[in-house]
Structure 1
C-alpha cells in the first residue's frame, strides 16, 4: 500500500507532495497532463507563503526568478500619487518583507526538482485518475482499469476536480457581477510613468486599474461588466489602456489580453474520509489580491504535515478533521471577506 497519493501537479499538489516527502512519507503524484502546465495563471506570492516555501527549500530560487515588490502605491489617473506604503513595515514579522510577482510556472519546476531528491517519491505525468473508493484502512485510486491503494489521498486536481466528482461532492459556485480584463505589455511602465511602484492601484471614477510588474513584462488589470462582449482586438485594448493611463510619456505596446469571470465556491468540508482537498479543488475565490493560490499552498503544507503526524503516530486521526475545519475557516473568515471588500478595485488574477 502506497503512503499517500496526490492528485494534481500544480502548485498546491507539488507543495503537498514535498511537505510529505520531507517528513519521510512515500508519495505518488498523479497528473493528467503530460508535463507541467506552461500557461501563466497566478503571479503573486505573499510574504507568509514565501516563508512556507522557504521551509521547503525553494523560496530563494523563486525570489531570484521573480520581481520583488517592496512598495505599493495608489495614484490617480493623472499620475498624482495618493499614497504609498513600503513593505518594510513587515520587517521582523517575516523573513520576506515583500511580495514576489512571478508566474506560477516559475514555482512548479522548483518543487518538482526538489521532489527528485527524495527516493520515496514517484511523479507520473499523463495519468488520469478515473475514480476513488474508500474501504478499510486505506483508499483505492483507479487509473484506467488499474486500482492503486494508499493510506490517504490529497486532491489537488483543480476547479473541475475529478476526485471531488467521483465522490459525488457538490461544489456550488456563484458568479460575481463583474469580470476582469488582463492586459500584457512589454513597455517599461516604470519609465513611462515616473515613480511608479511595482504594484500600483490607479483610481478613477470612470476606469480604475491595477499595474503589476513582472520580471519581463507588466500586467494591467481592469474591472469590466459581466456582459462586456467587445472583441479583445489590439486597437480596442490599446485605446482602453491609453484612456486609463493618459500620463504615460510614450506609447504602451500591448502584447496580449484576456478576460475572465470572477466566481466563488467552497466545499462544505475539505475532508471526505481519507481524502483531503486543497487549492482549487477545495475553494475558488474572487481572485482579488492573488489570494486563492496562496491559500492553496498553505492548505497543502498543512495537509502534508497533519497526514505525516497521523501516520507517524504523533497525532490522532481526528487531527485531519481539525485541519479541514481550520483551513475552511481561514478561507471563509479571512480570504473571501478580504477579497470581496477589495473587489471594487480588481487587482490581479489568481
Structure 2
C-alpha cells in the first residue's frame, strides 16, 4: 500500500504551489498532484501583484523572481480621445516597495515555487498525476485516487485534501459543495501579437469599438490580448472566420493592423468561458477548497491569481499547527473561509459593478468607456487613481508569510534565471 501524506494538494497552480511550499516549510508532509507534465499553458493569468511580490520577498524568493523575464505595468488607463487617456489606476502612487504589476509567464512563477519546494524535505510534487476520485470513508474525505504518468491507478491517503484544481474543480464537484453563480455578460478570447518597439511598455490600455473591446497586456517579446465580447458568442465568432476576426482587431487597434496576420487561424484564439461564482461553504470534513475552486473570478481587474495566493497563505497560516498535531477540525477549515470571505465578496461585488457600469454599456453600444462623472473626477483629481490601484494591486486584507515560512533572500544566481 502506498505511503500516505499529511496533506495532499490537488492542482499545481499558484494556490496549490504556494500552499505546498508554506506547509512544507512548517515541516508538514505535503504532496502536490498536478495532472499535466509541465506548467506550460498559454493564457493563464500572468499578473503578479504588489502584495504577491511582497510575499515572495518574505519567502526569500524576491531576487530569484526579479531575474525572471518580465514586463511591468505602472498604470491602467482608458482612452477618451485620439492621443488622450485617463489613468484609472496608478500603481506608482502606492506606498509600498513594489509600485507595479509584474507580468510573468505563469509557468515561470510555478517553476520557481517548485524549485523552492524541492529544497524542503517534506515537499513532494508529482506531475502527470491526475486525481480521479475522492476517497470518502465514515463521512470524511481521506485522500484521493489518481491516474499516474503511465496510466496506472493509485490512491494517496491524507489527513487533509485541499482542492486547488480551478473553476471546474473535480474535488469540489465530488464533495457536492453547491456553487452560487452570478450573472456575467462577457466571455474572453486570448491571443498573441508580435510586440513593436514603439508599443507602450508600462501601461494596460483597453481598445474600444462599438459592441466590443480588447485589453492589451505588454509581455516580454509579445503582446497578450484579451478580446472581450458578449457571453455565448464563441460559436458565432468562430463561424465568421479568421479573416473577419483580424479585421475586428484592426478596427479596434489600427496600429496593430500590420501584424494581425500573426493570427494564423481561429485555433490561435483561445476562448475563456468567464464565470463569477463562489461556494457558501468551502469545506467538508477532510477537504478544503481554495482559489478558483472556492470562488471563480472574472478577468476584470486581473485579481484572480492574487486572491488565490492570499487564500493559500491564510490556509497555511491557520492550518500548519493543526496539521502538525494531526488534528484538523471542521472549525479549523471553516476559519480559512471566515478569514478570506470578506476580500472575496468585496472583489466579486466590484467586478459585478464594473460589469454593469463599464463592460455591459460598451458591449451594448450605449457608451464607449467609463461613466463621464468617473472620468471627470479622475481628470480633476488624479490622486483618486490610488484607490483602484490599491484594490487591484494590494487588495482587501493582504496576507503575509507566517514566521515559519520566512527565509532570507536567495540570490538569483542560485536559481535558473529562465524559470526552467
* TM-aligned CA deviation for residue 8 of structure 1: 1.1
User: Where does residue 95 of structure 1 map in the other structure?
Assistant: 97
Partner of 1:70: 74
Pairing 1:174-253 to 2, within 5 Å after superposition: 174-188=182-196, 191=198, 197-203=202-208, 207-228=212-233, 229-231=236-238, 233-246=241-254, 248=255, 251-253=258-260
Which residue does the alignment assign to 1:263?
Answer: 275
Question: Against the structure 1 CA distance between its residues 196 and 61, is the aligned structure 2 distance closer, same or farther, given a 3 Å change threshold?
Answer: closer
Separation in 2, partners of 1:67, 1:134:
48
* Contact 2:9-2:163 at 8 Å conserved across structures: yes
Distance 1:249 1:122 in 2: 45
1:4 aligns with 2:14: no
Residues 18, 312 of structure 2: 8 Å contact kept: yes
Counterpart among 165, 172, 176 of residue 168 in structure 1 = 176
Q: How many residues align?
A: 340
Deviations 1:205-252 (Å, cap 9, x if unpaired)?
Answer: 654432211112112333212343132744223212221223x39723
RMSD: 3.0
Residue 130 of structure 2 aligns to a residue in which SS? coil
Deviation for aligned residue 1:20? 0.5
Q: Give me the TM-score of the superposition, normalised by structure 1.
A: 0.85
Match of 1:324 among 333, 337, 361: 337
After TM superposition, give the deviation of residue 137 of structure 1 in Å.
9.7
SS at match of 1:181: strand
> Cα offset for 1:309?
2.7
Aligned residue number for residue 281 of structure 1: 293
CA contact (8 A) 2:134 2:141 kept: no
CA distance in 2, matches of 1:99, 1:6: 27
For 2:143, the equivalent position in structure 1 comes to 140
Contact 2:141 2:285 in 1 (8 A): no
Call closer, same or farther: CA 1:54–1:104 in 2, change over 3 Å.
same
The offset of 1:172, in angstroms, is 4.7
> Which moves more between the two structures, 336-345 or 224-233?
224-233
CA distance in structure 1 between the aligned counterparts of 2:72 and 2:334, rounded to whole angstroms: 37
SS in 2 for 1:72: strand
Of residues 37, 45, 57 in structure 1, which corresponds to 2:60? Answer: 57
> 1:116-131 to 2 correspondence within 5 Å?
116-129=118-131, 130-131=133-134
1:288 match: secondary structure: coil
In structure 1, C-alpha distance between the alignment counterparts of 2:224 and 2:42, rounded to whole Å: 15
TM superposition shift of 1:261: 2.6
Alpha-carbon deviations, 1:44-99, whole Å to 9, x = none? 121112222332333443343221112332223623223475422113xx332110
Question: Does structure 2 conserve the Cα–Cα contact (< 8 Å) formed by 1:175 and 1:262?
Answer: no
Match of 1:157 in 2: 165
Provide the C-alpha distance between the structure 2 equivalents of 1:312 and 1:115, rounded to a whole number of angstroms: 18
CA distance in 2, matches of 1:114, 1:251: 43
Greater mean deviation of Cα atoms: 5-14 or 235-244: 235-244
Q: Deviations over 1:249-269 (max 9, x none)?
A: 972345343333322221121
Gaps of 5+ in 1: none
Q: Is the 8 A contact 1:132 1:139 kept in 2?
A: yes
Residue 276 of structure 2 contacts residue 295 of structure 2 at CA under 8 Å; is this kept in 1? yes
Structure richer in strand, relative to its length: 1
Secondary structure of 1:237's match?
helix
Q: Does 1:80 align with 2:84?
A: yes
More helix by share: 2
